[in-house]
Structure 1
Amino acid sequence: MRVAVVGLGTAGAATAALLFDRGHDVVVLEQADDPRPVGAGIWLQALGQQVLDRLDLLEPMRAASRVVSRVRMEGRGGRRLLDLGYDARPASTPALGVHRGDLFALLFGAVRARGIPLELGARVTAVEPRTGGIAVTVADPGGPDARDLGRFDLVVGADGTRSEVRAALGLGHRDRAYRYGALWAIVPDPDGLTSDTLHQRFDGTRRTLGVLPTGADRASIFWSLRTDRHAAALAAGVERWRADARAMAGPYAPLVDAVEELLPATYRAVSVRSSYRVGGGGAGVLVGDAAHAMSPQLGAGSSLALADAWTLAVALERGGSLAERLEWYDDQRRAHVRWYRWWTRAMMPLFQSDLTPLGPPRDALLPVVGWVPGMPRVMAGTLTGDRRSLRRTWRLP
């Protein structure tokens, strides 16, 4: 098939490489003139690692990353609320603390190495089912005119939370911004102060400090904050922020002191009734955040995006019509994505909201939950990225 992949993020680059390897005629359309990674460290779960392994990228990813085998949650004064290891689930694979730039470089390199055509500065303005396939139009960077790229058998929308492909195909169902986001920074951690642990310390539901091992010798700092207060906090300067963050940092205070610049991050909740649309002799399909953006509470975003890419590649190898193959893809991904969407929505009020009365009962219940027989196993399984219900797991097809 002739395939246009819109977006060069994690989902887009992985999808392009996987489809190219299966003999499809692939072109990647990226709106940035000089694509670069954006954002802090990534918590790459076992499911995402499996897909990288099938792209022969896992070993270089491991070499540039740090193993994250524990999650530790504490109250403001350092009282331990939860200490969960991935070993609570036998034979589970710990996460990797990945620098987003390293993951981007590996996937971008995979696209380049395969010789996949790449159009940069190509902002998609229209995706329309027409006779002979799906017509894709991009803005002309040199003026107001649009440029028709022709017809495609399949258009893959991997263009993120504000997906133009999703809007053009009318696939959106829910799309709203979360009130809370974060300020973040990446700092040197040459002595491995973060060790193998994602550390989170809470002050009620309005303030959270997170520290994630990132890459081989760095750490990512996250500071939960309402999005309408980002501008004021950034204007006040890093020194003002340090005064607040240092009080919650505990043993990670030296990392807080190393922050020289803070950057804002916002989150959206996106869902679709269906991830695909067929018409005009072709089809459009969504992968990654374009289909199911969610908060980063469980660190599942990149792994879910990679699972989408692999499942779509497998779906297109099946028999039947294109509509039947995309229906299978949609069915495969639905329950898995729904589980993580539900849990991230449920966790937001408890960890990032103005619902401050939820803080004390949360802090009282978390230690109890950690001792309930079977619960650490379920929680570790959910972090691994392969849950679809309390009793059922999801496997790469």
Structure 2
Amino acid sequence: MTLLNILNLTHPIVQAPMAGATTPELAATVSNFGGLGSLGSGMTTPKVLNSEIDSIKSLTDRPFMINLMVLSEHESNTLDSAVPNWLSQYYQENNIEIELPKQPALSFAEQLQVLYDNPVPVVSFTFGIINAEQVQRLQSLGTRVIGTANHPLEAKAWSNIGADAVCVQGVEAGGHRGGWLAQSANDPLGLLTLIAQTRACTDVPLIAAGGIMTGQAIKAVQTAGAELAQIGTAFLTTDKSGINDSYKQALLDASEGKRSAETRLTRLFSGKQARALLNDYLRDFAQFESAHELPPYPQLNAMTKLLRAHATKNLDAEHQSLWAGQGVALVRQERTIKLLERLVKES
């Protein structure tokens, strides 16, 4: 049985679950079209998550996906690193008062409980791996479970605990890398290499992610051994996207040659590798990129939240985390439904 059948999809398109950029309306639009719409919920409180699930269920009767970030209680609760001097100095120079939260991230266990109490058709996980009992509990509720991998060993680990599929995320992908093993950070694999190496060690169904912007690219990853294509950056400049106008304009400017379309893998925003459009923040603090004293994720993420919020409020794209994949030069300002129709037509 193919993944298309298992997930009850008409088209092999998964809209990437980009936390902070996805909305119930975006997810429902993709699902109603016959793809798999999704909501990035790793930074969403349990109460809001429950409400957003209900909202999607009211907008579509088709399958959709919720994505959570796997963090231990220790990681979610611990904020014991000092704010880096360069960041502290930036805050002083811009008259931004440093107010850190009591804990750097929400409780993963509490978010997961929402999915037990209000089951969804599909759930995916990133930044770590859950256990076999949790997989089985979700599946017993009728939920399909998808893991995220940047390395074949991560995909194999998900396969071993009974995941229904694995999203293999190549180095081309925008936003945070979803893996957790040191190997995936030390030598990031391109998508086609990752698919081939993963196919060689496990037969778990694969969803391909990273730089996919066209119908031709969907066909290419299917030929390489993936069943579905997960697309993120292309949706960011559509009408149902949840990103702010200055972020959206920066992406469009990159596609129109008004600014560089260069992207970079960076830890400077969150402490975890993520791909973003190059801007002044990444240029100005590049010297600290490899510094061993960078606070880990999610601690640095909590520390830069004030910087990003200040930049967003001031329409300053140069100090926002402009998450984007290497295909950003191909984004268009268009309706979400138009993008979906074009992808299907091209493939």
Q: So what's the TM-score if we normalise by structure 2?
A: 0.29
Higher strand share: 1
Higher helix share: 2
Where relative contact order (Cα < 8 A, 6+ residues apart) is larger, the structure is 1
- Larger of the two Rg values belongs to structure: 1
